[in-house]
Amino acid sequence: MDSKLFLQALIKFFFGLVLVGLMLFLPAGSLMYWQAWLLIGILFVPMFIAGLILMKKNPGLLRKRLNAKEEQSEQKTVLAFSALMFSSAFIVAGLNYRYQWIMLPCWVHWAAAVLFLIAYALYAEVLRENIWLSRTVEVQEDQKVIDTGLYGIVRHPMYMSTLLLFLAMPLVLGSVISFVIMLLYIPIIAKRMKNEEQVLEEGLEGYKEYMKRVRYKVIPYIW
């Protein structure tokens, strides 16, 4: 095992865990916000397990995702808006719990948690299918078009899974207002996909033909 890579992954994992906890519990004003604990559990436990699997099976992919740095200015703007969206949604969810603005029935939290875990499984499958999957918009050396599995259904199954993940999060937390905020992810990924497909069309052999074969980007028969 690469001890340096393990330590790097562990530091980022705990930094993310602490950051999310602060954004949820400080606005909530209480550690009794059980929906926040539920989200933290279904978010970070599978993440930790997936990290251990990647560490063993594909450390190169883990290293690439940990060290990814977006170079395109257009995508840096997209990432900045994404960070603002997440921060706002989590903080508002905490405030919603503190002030009891709009309360959802208990079954909604658990149904959303199940949807979240299904989306997580889809995301794991995308990681398995595409060894060139990157957090940045780029064409990598020796990269080939993947057109089987989920990639035979939609062109961007990663965004399909993350869309489900991000829309489930505020419902797990019990905040309708945060759900509305998370809807901003739709135009955010639309902008990112437009730029990404331009890069892939120009630099990845066979991608134009793939776009003709697989018509839908994110949701079959809809988008």
Report DSSP letters for 16-64, one per residue: HHHHHHHHHHHHHT-TT-HHHHHHHHHHHHHHHHHHHHHHHH-HHHHHH
The pLDDT value recorded for residue 171 is 97
Contact criterion met (CB below 8 Å) for 6 and 136: no
Query: pLDDT per residue over 27-79, tens digit each?
Result: 999 999 999 999 999 999 988 888 888 788 777 777 777 666 655 666 677 78
For residues 101-129, give the mean pLDDT: 93
For residues 213-222, give the mean pLDDT: 91
The pLDDT value recorded for residue 17 is 95
Residue 217 has a CB neighbour count (10 Å cut-off) of 20
- pLDDT over 90 at 130, yes or no: no
Domain extents in the chain: 3-213
CATH 1.20.120.1630 for domain 3-213, yes or no, is yes
